[in-house]
Structure 1
Amino acid sequence: MIARGDQQIAQRATLKLLIAAIFVVSIDSRVITPILPAIADDLGVTIGRAGLIVTAYLLPYGLFQLFYGPLADRKGHVRVICFALFGFAIGEALCALSPGLPALVGFRLLTGMVAAAIFPLVLAWIGETVDYTHRQSIIGYTVMAASIGQVLSAAAGGFMAAVVSWRTIFVLDGMLALVIAVMMLRAGLPRHEPVVAVDRSRLSPYRTVLDDPRHILFLALVFVEGALTIGAFSYFGALLRARDGYSYLAIGFFIALFGLTSVAMGRFIGRAARVLGERRMIAVGGIGVVLAYLMTTLQPSLVVFPLAMLLCGATFTLMHSTLQTRATE
């Protein structure tokens, strides 16, 4: 599927480590949802002020993805991912040690800067090494890894916030990132021949993308998806705490249902792509996510909110895996 002989074995081993890297970053990207109320309580600030850590992470996470593509072309995708993981581990440790909200906001910003390298560069590596006919199924595994990370972050985040401290989850995730980065170094970073562009201008890759209206539409879809499923999603824990008075443990359980459904749905992505086609997968996924968000406003939340998370997880996976596959082109 990927290559032949020794090269195939090496690339499969690399793929496993890259999927593990996605798992680690996915824990961090969703962990704020169940622990945001605990952070606000512990630091003595309102949910609104504590929400600055969401923006501080997501803004550089989005912007710095533009920087890592050209860097990976020069240095190699796996090499950049490896060193980004080391930076990510440091960022997680600093988040755990934050003495107050300003420091935590700053450390989340730094963590978002390095985390931005992982997911897009893994997709780019898959795009370079896996045939398009097999790519959707491989992307399905990355979605499953991300979903499992989200399940664990929701459940573990809620548990840690209730029993120990919200800081503990950052320590554990940072340690995992460090282990994976060391394993990459021990396995040996692949040799990389720098990509020599015909147009040597640093802006030429961005002009190539923006010159095609289809790329602009694609970026708009990804922007809306990210705003809804990462940005707005981060406040569901605060909603359940303030509106319904649920414990941190219960909040973690509710949010984990999103990831559980994504894991289950990830096993059927390849089949769904053959039956529905890419456009229908995006349409069905988008409509399903919007309906799920509307359901979160309804009562009784004990019944409706879990159903909303199940629907959101299933339909998000349809949409997200398709957009990821298109991003590898």
Structure 2
Amino acid sequence: MSKKSFLIFCLIFIAVSFSLSATAALVPTIAEYFGAAKSSAVRLTWIYMLPYGLFAFFWGPLSRSFTVKKLLLFSAVGFSVLNLAFSLSANISQAFIFRFLMGCVASGFVPLAFIVVGKAVVGPKKASNLGSFFAISTISACSGVFLSGFLPWQVIYLIPAVLSGLIFILSLTHLEEFDFRKEKFKLSYLETFKNKQALNLFVAIGLGSFLFHALQQNLGVYLSERFFLKQSAISLAFTVSTLCVILVRLFTGFLSSRLGNLKIVSIGYILMGVFSAVLLASGNYRLVILAVILWGTGWALSHTGLSAHLAHMPDKLLRDASSINSSLRLGLGGLGAFFGGLLSSSVVGFKMLFIIVMVSLFLLGFYSNRLLEV
């Protein structure tokens, strides 16, 4: 991969990540803007994630028939137009439609990046490039969350619209073709799912993402309703969490070499379980904002450990595994966000959500080593 192509991929990760985490923090503000209930507006999180998860399945097979450059050009222009349309929505119904379509076109960026790194980058640079992409992605997400506490919510989506337009122009002139075409479009995931190592990895990825987003995407609503926090305070909590992700990822290479990928995955899930316990037991919002450090740290460890484990998959499985990875992370994450919203808005409320997430994360943390060592 040339330096210019690498920088374009970095810009892609900035654009696609900028508003992703901010949306969960902005739900109360967007609900107020459109005069909608918070429990209704929270759909803006999972209505993006579910189509993302579904359509992510198709990018690996599509790269057999089209060059990666052509696929990225399509995704970039679509993502730009839909972010612009979302920011100009006249009502919450329009916002839902544009957010849904946004998830469809955004689903290609990460699996295509995995495919390029897996096939066009050699040796240790694979881990280095992926680490750079994830670090940049997290910094972008942190910036979006932080700015969501001060800027009008529409601006948080105008920025990725402009960035995606720039990506389209730069890709036309400077991005390599990345031609990995071998055959006509074909879905061949069955062979990947038959591999027990791959299947167990997908179980860990899917369950972890479901539990994370069940809590994460509803946390802004909880902080608003439970503690009556303003948008700036809610954004601060999300910013603290995202900053922890950035800081932890600076040391994951060291931690991985000392402890191993599977160990840091286990530690990550356990830390997330501890944060869920704090939410369940504490009535002090200052303690919750402080404890969110555990949430961000745990997610960074588990996410990075699982991604590194994925990058070492056999080459014949890598293309499809990359698409499945993105599909599971966002698809099951979207289902988790839907489940969390459904549960928290019911009679049983947030406490039952916290109990389910806490117990499940502890079980996943203590048994993930056994699951992934196969």
Q: TM-score, normalised by structure 1?
A: 0.88
| C-alpha displacement of 1:267 | 1.3
* Aligned equivalents of 1:132, 1:226: Cα separation in 2: 29
Q: Which residue of 2 aligns with 1:167?
A: 154
Pairing 1:304–2:304 present: no
Quote the offset at 1:155 in angstroms: 0.9
Query: Given that residues 149 and 231 in structure 2 are in contact (C-alpha distance below 8 angstroms), is that contact kept between their aligned partners in structure 1?
Result: yes
User: 2: distance between equivalents of 1:249 and 1:76?
Assistant: 43
Contact residue 64 and residue 185 of structure 2 kept, 8 A: no
- The one-letter amino acid paired with 1:235 is N
Cα RMSD after superposing both structures: 1.9
Q: Deviations over 1:50-77 (max 9, x none)?
A: 1222221010111111011111232223
The correspondence for 2:252, drawn from 269, 274, 291, is 269
The Cα of 1:302 is off from its aligned counterpart by 3.7
Could you say if the C-alpha distance between residues 272 and 131 of structure 1 is closer, same or farther in structure 2, counting changes exceeding 3 Å?
A: farther
1:215-234 equivalences under 5 Å are 215-234=198-217
Offset, 1:186: 2.3
1:79-90 alignment, distance < 5 Å: 79-90=70-81
Q: Determine whether 1:135 maps to 2:119.
A: no
CA contact (8 A) 1:151 1:256 kept: yes
1:103-142 superposed matches below 5 A:
103-142=94-133
- Compute the displacement of 1:206 (Å): 0.8
Shift of 1:217: 1.8
Is 2:197 the partner of 1:214? yes
Q: Which runs of no fewer than 5 residues in structure 2 stay unpaired? A: 314-374
Q: What SS class does the counterpart of residue 24 from structure 1 fall into? A: helix
TM-score (normalizing by structure 2): 0.78
Q: Which amino acid aligns with 1:215?
A: A
Q: 1:11 offset after TM fit, Å? A: 1.9
One-letter amino acid of the structure 1 residue matched with residue 22 of structure 2:
V
How many matched pairs? 312
Q: d(CA) in 2 for partners of 1:230 and 1:118?
A: 20
Distance in 2 between residues matched to 1:191 and 1:279, nearest whole Å: 32
Kept in 1, the 8 Å contact 2:11–2:163? The answer is no
Deviates more, 1:259-268 or 1:185-194: 185-194
Partner of 1:6: none
Q: Per-residue deviation at 1:174?
A: 1.0
Runs of 5+ unmatched residues, structure 1 = 1-9
How does 1:147-296 map onto structure 2 within 5 Å? Answer: 147-160=138-151, 165-190=152-177, 192-196=179-183, 202-203=186-187, 205-296=188-279
Deviations 1:28-48 (A, max 9, x none): 221211110011111112111
Letter of the 1:249 partner, please give it: S
Alignment partner of 2:22 out of 21, 31, 35: 31
Q: Distance in 2 between matches of 1:42 and 1:186?
A: 40
Q: Say if 1:62 and 1:267 are closer, same or farther in 2 by CA, change over 3 A.
A: same
Q: How does 1:14-25 map to 2 (within 5 A)?
A: 14-25=5-16
Q: Distance in 1 between matches of 2:6 and 2:40?
A: 39
User: 36, 41, 44: which one pairs with 1:50?
Assistant: 41
Residue identity opposite 1:172 in structure 2? I
Task: Report if the CA contact (8 A) 1:147-1:262 is conserved.
Answer: yes
Q: State the Cα distance separating 1:85 from its structure 2 match.
A: 1.5
In structure 2, what is the equivalent of residue 65 of structure 1?
Answer: 56
Amino acid aligned to 1:185:
L
Of 78, 81, 84, which aligns to 1:93? 84
The one-letter code of the counterpart of 1:40 is A
Paired AA for residue 104 in structure 1 = A
